[in-house]
């Protein structure tokens, strides 16, 4: 099979023909579920219709409906839009198509706040993983109101159900592409990491993957009222009832415009209503963080978790929000305290730890820790010996971005030579850092050990990009101790036991 000019591989729904590109077999746009429109809109995914003959899989399939990034963010982030209804599709890069190879598999869930992004983003080129002996699969799933709207007449979490269907496709199909369904690593960044955390806690996902990577996103469940508020605001603008039936009948372009309008003031730093994964009593019966920290969900699954040193700078630098937060000073700090639901002692502690920092840096690091680092720290504490933690610290060559959110992706995928990677990194990204970062991911996918000490009482964190890769011990323990003390103080005041 590998000797054919164009590789052909069977799937449960029909054969697909890919292309060889620089020694790697690539299959793009393979449907894992039927188009989620018409009578299937806002419903759980259904299997695709089988096809006769051989389906061409040379180009990326349609992307899920989504509004474009604002001009400020589009300078830094690419987000291709490919029209068409058949958006529940995936891509496979493999060095050895055909059964028998039994190679480890990486399944990639893209980021984009559950409202943007796709598997067609050029930075997510899986050929480098295939080059290094890993079968790489990247997935499209429903976004925004189509994937995460909360309605009285439709099941919740359609996008999460899509991801489950894609994992089931991998289980049933990946052997024919040279992969081992018993050696699957599920990985995601930002919204993809939040999704990975939810799938770790989802009973239906048990056994579908053996390892997981959470990059710049922590297990969480969104407040149902916030998601409902997004739907109601959209309904008000569209002058329709807040039901799946009414939304399904609405013009798709008008739906996206309304979604973009009501979501434009939401951000990780400012908060506000937003679409998100919710506890639904079905696919996700409990809060994912609670499941992983307190209920030993996903036993036997190895974890690798990471963040960037300056996550918040991608949220604040575009559009000049960083300068505005600095000007607000104490008002911004009070808003951050409310956003993070913490006491004054935490804010004072952060200011003491960063005496020369402006309000924006203090707010940004405070919110980053609240959203990402503290919950990931809690997960690692609950799963010592099988958790690995890292920090990406290399600063972008572009002004003001630092080691911001999403900057590490060009290094993870070793795709820094692509123009889309340089949009965020600038020129001169070090190849040796990509070799180290990408190599750690490959080792984790292959063996479950990325090459440094597993989490224990010393809190080892691998640092990438601040000099040569090295392990620091407890580099953020001072901040974490502030949060622990705040939780303990609140518990004492309320008379309830403190959680970690």
The answer to whether residues 356 and 489 belong to one domain is: yes
The answer to whether residues 294 and 368 belong to one domain is: no
190 is catalytic: yes
The H or E element spanning position 73 is helix 71-74
The answer to whether residues 487 and 341 belong to one domain is: yes
Query: Could you give the C-alpha distances from 478 to 87, 105, 353, 459, in angstroms and in order?
Result: 45, 37, 8, 12
396 is catalytic: no
Is 474 inside a domain boundary?
yes
Is 450 inside a domain boundary?
yes
pLDDT of residue 496: 66
CATH number of the domain to which 39 belongs: 3.40.50.1820
The answer to whether residues 154 and 24 belong to one domain is: yes
Beta bridge partners of 105: 135, 184
% the chain with pLDDT above 70: 98
The answer to whether residues 115 and 7 belong to one domain is: yes
pLDDT of residue 129: 98
Is 329 inside a domain boundary?
yes
Is 305 inside a domain boundary?
no
pLDDT of residue 497: 62
The count of domains in the chain is 2
pLDDT of residue 42: 97
pLDDT of residue 498: 58
Report how far Cα 279 is from the mean position of its chain's Cα atoms: 18
pLDDT of residue 1: 43
pLDDT of residue 271: 77
Give, to the nearest 10 degrees, the angle between helix 252-263 and helix 224-238.
Answer: 130
Residue ending a domain, choose from 300, 333, 352: 300
Is 228 inside a domain boundary?
no
Residue 467 token pair: 């000099």
Is 243 inside a domain boundary?
no
13 is catalytic: no
The answer to whether residues 483 and 435 belong to one domain is: yes
Is 268 inside a domain boundary?
no
The answer to whether residues 205 and 325 belong to one domain is: no
Q: Which domain holds residue 428?
A: 313-500
**Residue pair 189/409 in contact by the 8 Å Cβ criterion:** yes
The answer to whether residues 291 and 371 belong to one domain is: no
Catalytic residue among 78, 96, 118, 311: 311
Catalytic residue among 118, 127, 173, 190: 190
The answer to whether residues 170 and 116 belong to one domain is: yes
The answer to whether residues 453 and 330 belong to one domain is: yes
Is 247 inside a domain boundary?
no
Ranges of residues in the chain with a pLDDT under 70 are 1-4, 496-500
Q: If you count DSSP H runs as helices and E runs as strands, how many of each does the chain have, helices first?
A: 19, 14
The answer to whether residues 159 and 94 belong to one domain is: yes
The answer to whether residues 288 and 206 belong to one domain is: yes
Q: Which runs of consecutive H residues, i.e. helices, occur in 264-371? A: 288-294, 312-316, 321-328, 330-340, 344-353, 359-368
Catalytic residue among 405, 415, 446, 479: 405
CA-wise closest residue to 178 among 139, 129, 227: 129
């Amino acid at each position: 099979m590998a000797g054919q000019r164009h590789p052909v591989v069977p799937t449960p729904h029909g054969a697909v023909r890919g292309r060889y590109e620089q020694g790697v077999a690539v299959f793009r746009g393979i449907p894992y579920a039927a188009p989620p429109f018409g009578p299937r809109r806002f419903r759980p995914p259904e299997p695709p219709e089988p096809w006769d003959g051989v389906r061409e899989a040379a180009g990326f399939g349609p992307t899920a409906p989504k509004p474009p990034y604002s001009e400020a963010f589009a300078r830094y982030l690419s987000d291709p839009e490919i029209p068409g209804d058949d958006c529940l599709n995936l891509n496979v890069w493999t060095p050895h198509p055909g059964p028998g190879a039994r190679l480890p598999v990486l399944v990639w869930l893209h980021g984009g706040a559950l409202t943007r992004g796709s598997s067609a983003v050029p930075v997510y080129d899986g050929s480098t993983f295939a080059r290094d002996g890993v079968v790489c699969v990247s997935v499209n799933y429903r976004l925004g109101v189509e994937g995460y709207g909360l309605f009285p007449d439709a099941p919740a979490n359609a996008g999460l159900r899509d991801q489950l269907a894609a994992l089931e496709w991998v289980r049933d199909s990946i052997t024919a592409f040279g992969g081992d369904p018993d050696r699957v690593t599920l990985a995601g960044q930002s919204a993809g990491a939040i999704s990975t955390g939810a799938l770790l806690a989802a009973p239906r996902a048990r056994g579908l993957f053996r390892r997981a990577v959470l990059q710049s996103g922590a297990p969480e469940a969104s407040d149902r009222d916030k998601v409902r508020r997004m739907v109601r605001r959209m309904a008000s603008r569209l002058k329709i009832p807040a039901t799946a039936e009414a939304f399904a009948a609405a013009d798709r372009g008008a739906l996206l415009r309304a979604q973009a309008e009501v979501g434009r003031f939401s951000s990780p730093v400012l908060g506000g209503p937003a679409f998100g994964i919710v506890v639904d009593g079905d696919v996700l019966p409990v809060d994912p963080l609670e499941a992983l920290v307190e209920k030993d969900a996903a036993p036997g699954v190895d974890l690798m978790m990471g963040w960037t040193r300056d996550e918040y700078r991608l949220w604040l630098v575009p559009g000049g929000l960083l300068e505005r937060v600095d000007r607000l000073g104490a008002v911004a700090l009070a808003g951050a305290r409310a956003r993070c639901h913490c006491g004054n002692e935490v804010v004072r502690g952060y200011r003491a730890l960063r005496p020369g920092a402006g309000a924006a840096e203090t707010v940004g690091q405070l919110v980053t820790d609240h959203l990402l680092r503290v919950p990931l720290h809690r997960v690692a504490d609950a799963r010592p010996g099988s958790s690995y933690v890292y920090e990406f610290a290399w600063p972008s060559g572009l002004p003001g971005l630092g080691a911001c959110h999403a900057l590490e992706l060009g290094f993870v995928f070793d795709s820094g030579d692509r123009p889309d990677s340089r949009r965020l990194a600038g020129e001169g990204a070090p190849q040796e850092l990509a070799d180290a970062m990408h190599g750690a991911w490959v080792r984790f996918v292959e063996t479950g050990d990325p090459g440094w000490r597993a989490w224990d009482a010393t809190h080892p964190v691998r640092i990438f990009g601040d000099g040569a890769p090295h392990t620091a011990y407890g580099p953020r323990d001072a901040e974490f101790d502030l949060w622990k003390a705040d939780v303990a103080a609140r518990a004492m005041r309320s008379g309830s036991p403190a959680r970690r």
